[in-house]
Amino acid sequence: MMRIFIADDEEPARERLKALLGDIAAELATSVVGEAKNGLEALEALPASGAEVVLLDIQMPGLGGLELARHLAGLERPPAVVFVTAHDRHAVEAFELNALDYLLKPVRAERLAAALRKAASAAPAGREQLAAAAQAPREYLSVVERSRIVLVPVRDILFLRAEQKYVTVRTREREHLVEESLVALEKEFCEPAAALFVRIHRNCLVARGAIRGFERAPGADEAHWQVVIDGLAERLPVSRRQWPAVREQIASK
Amino acid sequence: MVSIRQNAYPDLLPDFRNLGVVARVLLAVNAAALAGALYAMPELPRALEGFVRAAAFLEPLLLVELVALFVLSPQLARLSYAGGCAAVVALVSLLAGLYHAGASQVVPELPPSLVRSVVLAALVAASLLAYFRLYTKAFSPALAEARLQALQARIRPHFLFNSLNAVLALIRRDPKRAERSLEDLADLFRTLMSDARQFVRLADEIALLERYAEIEQLRLGERLRITWELDAAPPDAMLPALVLQPLLENAIYHGVEPGTAAGDVLVRIERRGERVHAAIENPYIEAEQRRAGNRMALDNVRERLALFFDAEARLEARAVGSRFRIDIEMPYRAAKA
């Protein structure tokens, strides 16, 4: 019995998928272990549902299917993901390019069966593969705590700092550790298109919006600057190499 | 309904009741008078003086001519294009002659001859008719293109495939409703594929809105709440096809679908005097502004309103707090019964 989770914001679309699963029951036994009508609901319910495969609509309010899949990939035993879309040319191109499974609405029974069989046999898509298919930076970073996924809104993040294996994610309230590389995060959030963060040091990205100013580091013999963050006592050193670029980027803000 | 042949745009007299046409005539005639004055007297101050004197003679005549054309516009429109042109030139010349004769009784030191006034008036009228003909010709390709664009912008694949998917889901549970939905979809697409250069009755456009809303309701369920305020809508008003439906579609696509909570959409259409006002309001979702393509339908509708009503229609879109609102204003033109 294959355990399946369905996430789609349209009720008739979920109903249709369930009807089709019923139609193919003779050749492929499945049970629907959960349903969600948006990305956030799915994120909450999915880890505990024990689902092996998730049918994910990509255009959902709150949290889109592709970003949801990226957060799910952080789970210890992530479900296989089959994306479902009515029409999103760019997404379909990206799925093709990155060998991700997808179905087009209206979904056909035989395609559904084939996609499920394939999903059950192959290893779930990895984070890099999903990241490569993404067309926009994520709205959240995620931390897996036991079997729960905790989302940290990117707009709440003050800075990201690499420490050995992890990256510390600092918000006003607390710190989180995420298992991602600072280089990948920089690529996602500092590109001109997003430009939410600036690199101030080899190991540190700061949210542009959180920078209140710069001050000279006390006791330094040469000019050495540090970033003052809104409402935070901690000062972050700007490396000499980054200083001209940082100054220029902040000036152009 | 004004039907237009597929491959040819027949020549039509300008609409003498249109503000844009009237404004162009006023501007052109005065510009010609100014040019004439400059030609006659090369020094600027004296030329201006000459222009003012000419204008004092010209302006009342011009207004009388415009009023006459305004009043006779329906009769003129019934003639063939050539006949209409001849009638316009004749009417203008006749009025100019009468005016000149009348004015010379009152003011002795008028421009020299009556014949000159009549010939000048006839020439100006003929040139303006030629100008308007070229002007409409120049815009004919734009019309054809607007129609194409309308078609492409209207058939949002996202909507088509999701609707079909929803109807498929319905077939087993509620075959009756599935049938009705497919009928609605067929009606909607018939209109979408029809000639966007036509005028339609407001009642028909409203029926189309309701069909469309019915399909969206099926898909979105209780997430979509539409309030209709149509009691003061004049059913016989004529408007270009597909002006309101794309805007309602936009409202749902950008204001309701991306939201996790239910979204309220307001559709209000009413007649105020000789104007028809339409407003469509939806929740304003800020993150949504990043999604591309939300201006296309708006630009398309605005362009078509301008093509049909020239300067007399207005479209305004703005975000007010947490709501996004589009206002349209156009002249009220009743359908001929």
Range with the lowest mean pLDDT among A71-85, B148-162, B231-245? Answer: B148-162
Range with the lowest mean pLDDT among B136-140, B183-187, B320-324? Answer: B136-140
List the structure tokens of A76: 């210890």
List the structure tokens of A127: 């984070």
Question: B256: helix, coil or strand?
Answer: coil
List the structure tokens of B192: 């979408």
Interchain contact, A87 vs B220, CB within 8 Å: no
Give the angle subtended at the CA of A98 by the CAs of A93 and A103, to the nearest 5°: 60
Kindly compute the dihedral angle of the four CA atoms of residues A204, A207, A210, A213, in this order, to the nearest 10 degrees.
60
Q: What is the mean pLDDT of chain B?
A: 84
Task: List A160's β-bridge partners, or say none.
Answer: A169, A205
Taking a C-beta distance cutoff of 8 angstroms, is the pair B281, B265 a contact?
Answer: yes
Q: What is the mean pLDDT of residues A50-70?
A: 92
Write down the pLDDT at residue B288: 64
User: What are the distances in angstroms from CA B266 to CA B226, B251, B255, B272?
Assistant: 6, 9, 11, 19
* ipTM of the complex, rounded to two decimals: 0.81
Interchain contact, B257 vs A61, CB within 8 Å: yes
- Judged against a pLDDT cut of 70, whether residue B310 lies above it is answered with yes
Q: If you search the block for the tokens 């239910």, which residue do you land on?
A: B262
DSSP structure class, residue B292: T
Q: Which residues contact A121 (CB under 8 A, 6 or more apart)?
A: none
Q: What is the mean pLDDT of residues B142-152?
A: 60
Q: Which residues contact A216 (CB under 8 A, 6 or more apart)?
A: A223, A224, A225, A226
Confidence of residue B6 (pLDDT cuts 50, 70, 90): very low
Q: What is the pLDDT of residues A186-245, one digit of tens each?
A: 988 887 666 889 999 999 999 998 999 888 887 766 668 899 998 888 899 998 888 888
Q: What is the mean pLDDT of residues B192-218?
A: 87
List the structure tokens of B25: 């005539």
- Classify residue B130 as exposed, middle or buried by CB count within 10 Å of its CB (0-12, 13-18, 19+): exposed
The distance of B189 to chain A (nearest Cα, Å) reads 18
Taking a C-beta distance cutoff of 8 angstroms, is the pair A176, A169 a contact?
Answer: yes
Measure the N-to-C terminal CA separation of chain A; round to a whole number of Å: 55
Measure the N-to-C terminal CA separation of chain B; round to a whole number of Å: 11
Q: Give the whole-angstrom CA distance, residue A109 versus residue A22.
A: 9
Q: What is the mean pLDDT of chain A?
A: 89
Query: Between B158, B170, B221, which is nearest A86 by CB?
Result: B158
CB distance from B215 to chain A under 8 Å? no
Confidence of residue A34 (pLDDT cuts 50, 70, 90): very high
Interchain contact, B158 vs A59, CB within 8 Å: yes
The distance of B188 to chain A (nearest Cα, Å) reads 19
Confidence of residue B150 (pLDDT cuts 50, 70, 90): low
Q: What is the pLDDT of residues A79-135, one digit of tens each?
A: 999 999 998 788 888 888 888 889 999 999 999 999 999 998 888 888 888 988 888
- Judged against a pLDDT cut of 70, whether residue B289 lies above it is answered with no
Q: Residue A40 belongs to what H/E stretch?
A: helix A39-49
Q: What is the pLDDT of residues B18-31, one digit of tens each?
A: 888 888 889 988 89
R_g (Cα) of chain B, nearest Å:
26
Q: What is the mean pLDDT of residues B329-334?
A: 91
- B contacts of A19 (beta carbons < 8 Å): 169, 172
CB distance from B218 to chain A under 8 Å? yes
Interchain contact, B169 vs A13, CB within 8 Å: yes
- Judged against a pLDDT cut of 50, whether residue B8 lies above it is answered with no
Q: Give the whole-angstrom CA distance, residue A58 versus residue A92.
A: 10
Taking a C-beta distance cutoff of 8 angstroms, is the pair B305, B298 a contact?
Answer: no
- Classify residue B109 as exposed, middle or buried by CB count within 10 Å of its CB (0-12, 13-18, 19+): exposed
- Judged against a pLDDT cut of 60, whether residue B9 lies above it is answered with no
Write down the pLDDT at residue B201: 92
Write down the pLDDT at residue B3: 42
Q: What are phi and psi of B194, to 5 degrees?
A: -80, 180
Interchain contact, B258 vs A61, CB within 8 Å: yes
Write down the pLDDT at residue B217: 94
Query: Between A16, A88, A136, which is nearest B169 by CB?
Result: A16
Range with the lowest mean pLDDT among A75-89, B107-121, B224-238? Answer: B107-121
Range with the lowest mean pLDDT among A179-183, B151-155, B278-282? Answer: B151-155
Highest mean pLDDT of the ranges A180-194, B244-258, B300-314: B244-258
The candidate with the shortest Cα–Cα distance to B187, out of B215, B161, B148, B166, is: B215
Interchain contact, A86 vs B161, CB within 8 Å: yes
